[in-house]
Structure 1
Amino acid sequence: MICRRCIGMRLATKKDIINAIEYYAPQKYALSKDNPGTQIGELIGNVSNCIVALDATEEVVDKAVEINAELIISHHPVFMEPLKNLTNKYIGNVAKKAIKNDITIYTSHTNLDVAPHIGVNHALIDTLSLDFKKLSNLLNTYKQDFYKIVVYVPKEYLESLKEIIFSSGGGRIGEYSDCSFSTLGNGTFKPLPGTNPFIGEIEKRDNLDEYRLETIVNSENLDKVIENILKEHPYEEPAYDVYQLEQPYHQVGLGLIGELTAPINCDELLDIVENKLDTRINFSGEKKSYINKIAVCGGSGGKLINQAVASGADAFITGDIKYHEALDAYGRGLIVIDAGHRETELPVINKLVSYLDNYYKNQETNFIAYYNQEKILTGRESNI
């Protein structure tokens, strides 16, 4: 069915939007038992309205139908366990309504938890407005392998070969692209019978001024970079070397920890968490007058208490803390602030919407942050 109001509009496609999210939160970052990705529908077609929510509940699907949204981005999966049946109960109704109205539901779960820049924990840090000297992961969960590739090339082909490497995915270090180093040197070679040299004569050793061009490339792009170097290099037999690197150029993980630019006391921190997240908190631990190092983990972070203690955290902000986890932290001198699973993850909704709005600022797709109104684990109102 063609949307008449979309004719002539410059709209992002479903696939483009998912690619924008997976630039920072690819599915390979997800933990082993997770189920990220397309839950319902297909990544085909344009998007006039896209809802971003924590959960793709029936309420959210109803809202999508109401505003003619073609895509729902949810943080939590619709289907976490293998599906045995689909009935007219809750999940069945979600699927039925989404399919009937051609709405695609896509999930970015633990891959978004660990994602840099747009992820759950970076969004939580931004919302709390705490100033850190530097942030690092509490628990590394994914490390990208990198290689240094070195190739020798005559001066007149140096820049064109750089472009080939960069366009094939090489030369990326963190948030910097087109990274390389080159130095001038002198090489020797002697073409043997049966060769077809670009320069030089058969059976005669020659000297040639060449540039040593080196850059780095991740494991996913290594084969493509080498293939394109060999295809575009002027030499019949290009000389190149590949070295596997040990340093962790790119790691992602659960939780974040950092040292504040200026220490605060415990009551100040508790007030910040309650006010910025607009929630009532629970906490355990002896109130300290000097809190310098803080760890955070949006959602459920009880299993990271060991990492928080080992990293020297004075306080740990998270959700879903169990009694015995709090008791363990208390005995080890760690203040634990339980601000709620939902409340510590909600900031990522605005973070994603802001990112997508900016990414598609020259297009007319609308991105809508939607905060589910279902009452999940809420306290009852007092009659006093």
Structure 2
Amino acid sequence: MPTVREIEESLFTLAPREGAMEWDNVGHLVGDPEAQVSRVLVALDITQAVAEEAIAAGCQLIVSHHPVMNCNWNPVQTLRPDNPQGRLLLTLLQNHVAAVCMHTNLDVARGGVNDALAQVLRLEDPGPLSGDGIGRVGTLPAPMPLAEFAAFVCRTLGANGVRYADAGRMVSRVAVGGGACGEYEAAALAAGCDTFVTSDLKYHQFLDAPGKGINLIDAGHFPTEDPVCARLLAYLSEHFPELRVTKSTSHREVIQYYVEGE
């Protein structure tokens, strides 16, 4: 059976460490690098529920996109069960579950977060949106009205709802950015896009979108990044056929939308 170290090394072939932003915390973050692995759980985030799911399934490793700890914005100062971060880390350590996390390096990688998003949204001939590898630009097989495309995005990504701003343009040339990529709106405009699909957009961006001439769709952070989990599962299954690799069923979109009359 492969070790945690060997799996990490292989994942860095898919998404090289050098692609990670300097503030990021990627790679093998928890557990024994020499521990042998027979079962892996793939999830977008390592939550308490995901950790318990891995333990129940007999997994020795969780592979996630978001780091289980990022010392840039959430420093690990204590390891105690009476706070959420400490409880999660202790759960992993006490049950010998390792964690390998591929974050911004997987965002920019070929076959990573943004390619997975472009594929599930059926964009043809997707190319880079930005010089740093974030985002993709492609064309729909046929133009469609924005409301119809927004419904397609919501349904395809399994979102609980989407927010959108209508600039009065048919949807044809589309930019996508998995996760919080609102800062790339200008790049989408420069690329001649009529529509930008991403998440965590700000109020003023929706307010200004019609004047800029670009449709905006905020489909949520989890829904726009979760498609990469299928890519990770397929990659691990191909490169380590002896492993049993599954995708988390406990982790899903946490944001709910209330609609009057429902």
Both proteins in one fold, TM over 0.5:
yes
The residue that corresponds to 2:79 in the other structure is 86
Q: 1:123 aligns with which of 116, 135, 139?
A: 116
The residue that corresponds to 2:244 in the other structure is 366
Is 1:110 paired with 2:100? no
Q: 1:302 aligns with which of 171, 177, 182?
A: 182
Q: 2:8 aligns with which of 4, 7, 18?
A: 18
Is 1:328 paired with 2:208? yes
The residue that corresponds to 1:207 in the other structure is none
1:34–1:80 CA contact under 8 A, matched in 2? yes
Is 1:276 paired with 2:156? yes
Letter in 2 for 1:108: M
- CA distance in 2 between partners of 1:61 and 1:348 (Å): 19
| CA gap 1:127/1:135 in 2 versus in 1, 3 angstroms | closer
Is 1:287 paired with 2:168? yes
Select the structure that is richer in helix: 2
The residue that corresponds to 1:138 in the other structure is 129
Q: CA deviation at 1:383?
A: 7.8
- CA distance in 2 between partners of 1:34 and 1:66 (Å): 30
SS at 1:309 equivalent: helix
1:120-160: CA deviation from partner (whole Å, max 9, x where unpaired)? 11111222223x1x32221222xxxxxxxxxxxxxxxxxxx
- CA distance in 2 between partners of 1:13 and 1:111 (Å): 22
- CA distance in 2 between partners of 1:100 and 1:127 (Å): 38
Per the normalisation by structure 2, the TM-score is 0.90
1:69–1:103 CA contact under 8 A, matched in 2? yes
2:118–2:126 CA contact under 8 A, matched in 1? no
Q: CA deviation at 1:311?
A: 1.1
| CA gap 1:19/1:298 in 2 versus in 1, 3 angstroms | same
Q: CA deviation at 1:92?
A: 0.5
1:2-44: CA deviation from partner (whole Å, max 9, x where unpaired)? xxxxxxxxx3332222222211201110112211122211321
Letter in 2 for 1:43: P
Aligned residues: 257
SS at 1:342 equivalent: helix
Q: CA deviation at 1:258?
A: 2.1
Matches within 5 A, 1:1-384: 11-81=1-71, 82-88=75-81, 89-117=83-111, 119-130=112-123, 132=124, 134-141=125-132, 253-279=133-159, 280-289=161-170, 291-361=171-241, 363=242, 365-373=243-251, 376-379=254-257
SS at 1:59 equivalent: helix
Q: Which 5+ residue runs of structure 1 have no aligned equivalent?
A: 1-10, 142-252
1:55–1:372 CA contact under 8 A, matched in 2? no
The residue that corresponds to 1:249 in the other structure is none
| CA gap 1:136/1:373 in 2 versus in 1, 3 angstroms | closer
1:54–1:372 CA contact under 8 A, matched in 2? no
- CA distance in 2 between partners of 1:283 and 1:383 (Å): 21
SS at 2:65 equivalent: strand
- CA distance in 2 between partners of 1:260 and 1:351 (Å): 22
Q: CA deviation at 1:373?
A: 4.1
CA RMSD of aligned residues (A): 2.0
| CA gap 1:85/1:60 in 2 versus in 1, 3 angstroms | same
1:305–1:329 CA contact under 8 A, matched in 2? no
Q: CA deviation at 1:374?
A: 6.9
| CA gap 1:342/1:375 in 2 versus in 1, 3 angstroms | closer
| CA gap 1:378/1:22 in 2 versus in 1, 3 angstroms | same
- CA distance in 1 between partners of 2:154 and 2:8 (Å): 33
| CA gap 1:374/1:87 in 2 versus in 1, 3 angstroms | farther
Per the normalisation by structure 1, the TM-score is 0.63
| CA gap 1:27/1:301 in 2 versus in 1, 3 angstroms | same
- CA distance in 1 between partners of 2:4 and 2:260 (Å): 45
Letter in 2 for 1:87: R
SS at 2:96 equivalent: coil
- CA distance in 2 between partners of 1:22 and 1:284 (Å): 38
1:54–1:371 CA contact under 8 A, matched in 2? no
SS at 1:64 equivalent: helix
What is the aligned-residue identity percentage?
33
1:14–1:44 CA contact under 8 A, matched in 2? yes
| CA gap 1:284/1:382 in 2 versus in 1, 3 angstroms | closer
1:259–1:292 CA contact under 8 A, matched in 2? yes
